[in-house]
Structures are given as C-alpha cells and as structure tokens.
C-alpha cells in the first residue's frame, strides 16, 4: 500500500547555484580543450582558495570523503592504531578511519560549541593512539590551540575534518591552515558547492606533493609507476568552475546566512528550553547549519515531535547529527560501553534539529517557517 508523504515546501538545504548561462563560456572552453579533469579550472580554484585562506597548498578532489581518505593515507598512520575523534559528527568522519583499518576512539563534546572536548580527548590518549582528528561542527572550529598542544605533548599528528568549515576562522586565522592538514567538502549541502567536490589544505610541501599524485591513483611523476596507494579522486573541470563561482561569493553567503540565523533566533530564541550552538568570540563560523536543541524537560515540544509535525506541514528539518556515531549500527561494536563517557554528545545528538537554511533563502521565508514552528509548539503546549 502506498504511504502518503507530505510534499516538501521548505527544504532543509538547497544549493545556491549560478544561472547556467553564466557558466556557458567556461563549459564551452572546457569541452573544446578536451582537458575535462584536473586542468586550468582546478588549478585556478586551488590558487584562489589558497590565497584567501593563507595556506600553501590546496588539492582539489572529487568529494570530502575522498579528501579525508587521502589525507589519512598520506599521513601513513599504522593500521590498528587508535584515532581520537568526536562521536557527534557526520558518519564520513569515522568511516574514513574504518576504510584504513584505524580504530575510532569516540570523544565527548563541548556543551556550548558542540565540538570535540579537548580535555576529554586528553584522557583518551594511550600508547595505541596514532592521531587526533577533530571536526569543524556546522562551521564552528573547536579549541584548536588545545588540540595542537595535546598533539605536541604526545608527538601525534593532528588533522581535521573541516568539511563544513570553509570561511570559518579561529583567532583571526582561516580554518584550513591548522594541523598537518584539513579536508573540506563542497557537496550540495555546503556553503561553497562544486555540485560535488572536496579540498585538502596543508602547509606541508611533502604531503601536498604526494596528495597531488594520490588523487590520481597514486601514479608517480612518469604517469606509469604506481608509487603511492591512491584513489580515483580527481576533480572535474566543470565542478571546479562551479566551485570558483561559489567560492568567489563566500562572504555574501556567510552574510546572508548570518542574517537568516539572527532572524530565526529573534523569532524563536525566547522559547523555553531552546538553545543553540555558541560561536565563541575568538571564532567566526561559515554558518553551514542552524541547529537548535530542545530540552525535553523545558521545551513545549520534544525534538522528535517537532521534527514529525514540521514534516507534516511541509517543512523539512534534519535531526543532525543523529544518532551520535557510537549509537549507529556501523560503529556500535567499535567500543561497547563507550557511551558512559559520552553524555554531552549524546544529549546534543538526541535533542538537535537543523532548521531549513541556504544562502539564497529570504527572511520572509524564515518568517513563514517560524510561524509554522510556533503553531506546532502551541499545539503541544
Ligand atoms: C562533517 C562531514 N565530514 C565529511 C563529509 C563528507 O563530505 P562529502 O559528502 O563531500 O564526501 C561531510 C558531508 O556532509 C560532513 O558534513
């Protein structure tokens, strides 16, 4: 029997794309040149991102997950080693570890920024630890100084899943310039989109050199000898052209999203039991998502009730990130019993709801959604 699904009037995200006519000339020139992958568009994107972020090397790849896989591989981490990473993140963070035979050691989160708790990470380091691997959460960087101090103290590499962090800063420095390397996504849900794509950033010349070949199977300079274990993870010229258009407007996207988030919070911020991610004064956010938490003891409606009710009203939201990774089938057996040390992350995951937001959303649309949220809450008050 067919199940009726409410139509989506308000999607939780929508990629902000150019009028196709704007890219007509570049598409014609790419096709005419015959160089459709890792050509001048990719090189220009890498240069533009490197110049803005202030990082020596940017390597364009086919998606964020491949950026993570390649970066982890290039760091040459020994299989079986433990890598400290948050449980409150997107699955791809820890899936990349499993692909390399590395063991995720799930860490709790800071209650305000939702990022990996550096003190909790410290307590998880053992002789088996081979890397520290924090995540930029919804555009907010964690305590990068504390992570680096930890890595230095224990002589461990520090790498970042910064998939959602393009345009974010920490103490005035761009995300993308920290640790041994960082990986970004440019999927359709990201502030800068390539349609699909990813970037690796690093200040390490050796690492960058290797990664440029590793994205193309790991072929050596002669194009024949397989020197490294790589992937087929090249970025296409058309994806790079879309990404250049999107990246050139990054400040506009962040400004629009900031206004959208402010409007949401002006409308909904007084709701009892509602809280949201904090952006510390020493950081700025790419504003990839607006995520509210609904305290089940104080809010007029639970997260799950609001999620379902909004769905019925055509407002798509996302329980995000949910479930926390240690509660997902794929990761449940990694370390049975680890839930006891992950109470903050579990509480965030169990109460978090991402509201619709995209760079070209109007404030009138935010108001319409807030009207619906308010009416859903009244129904339960
Ligand atoms: C935190 C995080 N890591 C990794 C990824 C994977 O990126 P991609 O979808 O480009 O492979 C995403 C994408 O949503 C993400 O949000």
Question: CA 111 to CA 284: how far, in whole Å?
Answer: 18
> Which CATH code for domain 20-107+114-248?
3.40.640.10
Long-range own/partner contacts, residues 333-336 (CB < 8 A, 24 or more apart) = 334/103, 334/104, 334/106, 335/105, 335/106
Domain range annotation of the chain: 20-107+114-248, 250-317+356-380
Which of the four pLDDT bands, split at 50, 70 and 90, describes residue 379?
Answer: low
The pLDDT of residue 111 is 98
- Per-residue pLDDT reduced to its tens digit, 11-36: 999 999 999 999 999 999 999 999 99
The pLDDT of residue 148 is 98
The pLDDT of residue 215 is 98
Instruction: Please report, rounded to a whole number, the percentage of residues in the chain having pLDDT higher than 70.
Output: 98
Which of the four pLDDT bands, split at 50, 70 and 90, describes residue 157?
Answer: very high
What is the number of the ligand 1 atom nearest to the C-alpha of 67? 11
Q: CATH second-level architecture of 250-317+356-380?
A: Alpha-Beta Complex (3.90)
- Which residue's CA is the nearest one to ligand 1's atom 7? 64
Q: How far is the CA of 297 from the centre of ligand 1 (A)?
A: 32
Q: Is residue 3 predicted with pLDDT exceeding 90?
A: no
Pocket of ligand 1 (CB under 6 A): 63-65, 89-90, 92-93, 135, 161, 163-164, 185, 187, 189, 198
Q: What angle do CA 85, 80, 59 make, to 5 degrees?
A: 60
Instruction: Compute CA distances 47 → 39, 59, 118, 132, 256, whole Å.
Output: 12, 9, 32, 28, 25
Mean pLDDT of 153-163: 98
Strand 129-132 and strand 82-86: the pairing is parallel
Residue 144 CA, distance from chain mean position:
16
Which of the four pLDDT bands, split at 50, 70 and 90, describes residue 245?
Answer: very high
The pLDDT of residue 381 is 54
Question: CA 28 to CA 53: how far, in whole Å?
Answer: 30
Q: Is residue 380 predicted with pLDDT exceeding 60?
A: no
What is the number of the ligand 1 atom nearest to the C-alpha of 136? 1
């Amino acid at each position: 029997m067919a199940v009726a699904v409410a139509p989506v009037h308000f999607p939780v995200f929508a990629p902000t794309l150019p009028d196709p006519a704007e890219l007509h000339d570049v598409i014609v020139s790419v096709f005419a040149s015959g160089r459709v992958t890792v050509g001048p568009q990719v090189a220009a994107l890498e240069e533009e991102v490197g110049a803005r972020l202030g990082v020596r090397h940017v390597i364009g790849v086919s998606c964020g997950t491949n950026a993570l896989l390649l970066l982890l591989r290039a760091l040459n981490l020994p299989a079986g080693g433990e890598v400290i990473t948050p449980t409150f993140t997107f699955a791809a963070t820890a899936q990349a570890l499993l692909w390399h035979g590395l063991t995720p050691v799930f860490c709790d989160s800071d209650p305000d920024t939702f990022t990996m708790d550096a003190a909790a990470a410290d307590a998880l380091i053992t002789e088996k630890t081979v890397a520290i691997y924090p995540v930029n959460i919804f555009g907010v960087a964690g305590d990068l100084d504390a992570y680096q101090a930890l890595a230095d103290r224990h002589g461990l590499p520090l790498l970042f899943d910064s998939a959602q962090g393009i345009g974010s800063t920490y103490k005035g420095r761009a995300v993308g310039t920290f640790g041994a390397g960082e990986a970004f996504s440019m999927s359709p849900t990201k502030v800068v989109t390539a349609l699909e794509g990813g970037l690796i950033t690093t200040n390490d010349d050796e690492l960058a050199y290797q990664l440029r070949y590793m994205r193309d199977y790991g072929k050596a300079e002669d194009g024949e000898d397989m020197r490294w274990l790589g992937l087929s993870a090249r970025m296409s010229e058309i994806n790079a052209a879309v990404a250049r258009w999107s990246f050139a407007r990054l400040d506009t996207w962040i400004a629009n999203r900031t206004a959208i988030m402010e409007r949401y919070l002006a409308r909904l911020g007084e709701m009892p039991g509602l809280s949201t991610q904090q952006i510390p004064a020493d950081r700025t956010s790419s504003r990839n998502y607006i995520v509210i938490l609904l305290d089940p003891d104080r809010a007029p409606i639970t997260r799950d009730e609001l999620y379902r009710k909004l769905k019925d009203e055509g407002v798509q939201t996302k329980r995000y990130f949910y479930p926390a990774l240690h509660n997902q089938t794929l990761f449940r057996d990694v370390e049975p019993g680890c839930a006891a040390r992950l109470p903050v992350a579990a509480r965030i995951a169990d109460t978090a709801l991402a509201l619709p937001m995209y760079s070209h959303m109007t404030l009138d649309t935010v108001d319409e959604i807030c009207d619906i949220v308010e009416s859903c809450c009244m129904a339960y008050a």
